[in-house]
Amino acid sequence: MHSHNHLRVAVRLREMELTDVKQVEELHLVLFPVRYPASFFEKLCSSPIISVVALIEGEIVGVATARLATDENCGTDGYIMTFGVHPKHQRSGVGSKLLLEICRLIQLRYGSTHAHLHVKADNTTAISFYTKHKFHVRSICRDHYFIDSRFHDALWLVLDLPQPIAPASASLFSGLTKYLCNCFSN
């Protein structure tokens, strides 16, 4: 039996807390070839950075982090700094839920109309995941990453978010969530 087909246990999403730093740091070591300093993980719990963790039975199995884009071409867009799900929980729906949540918070907190991210150009699995969720390629970034003593190209991917709304009522939240779910559905 293949363990990646459907969720068999409940996934809980919540914003990252300081007590999560060690688990998130360990998860990053499993997921990413880029190594981040300890200060990076400590900043993940401070505003205006948005950090969401996915938990299964109390264990952090996924993480998404975002900040306000600083590029003048991006305005108030959100930039997804890191995003990943532990390999044993990939293809189970955890990533889709986590992506939906980080994009919802980017739109809500930053008033963003786009979410951006970079992905290694040869990471076909991640590129397929993001394009399935309506991200499109904005450009190719030559030599964007320096990993294992060599440069790697990246794709700059962008997702169009709904127009910003004032958080006035639960019905607006509901509408935004339905919109994003429709964007992410096949």
- The pLDDT assigned to 181 comes to 57
- The pLDDT assigned to 160 comes to 93
Could you tell me which residue, 7 or 123, shows the higher pLDDT? 123
Name the nearest CA neighbour of 122 among 145, 154, 159.
Answer: 154
Distance in angstroms (rounded) separating the CA atoms of residues 157 and 61: 24
With a cut of 90, say whether residue 134 has pLDDT above it. yes
**5-22 per-position pLDDT tens digit:** 454 678 999 999 999 999
Q: What are phi and psi of 17, to 5 degrees?
A: -120, 160
Is 0.85 topped by the overall pTM? Answer: no
With a cut of 70, say whether residue 173 has pLDDT above it. no
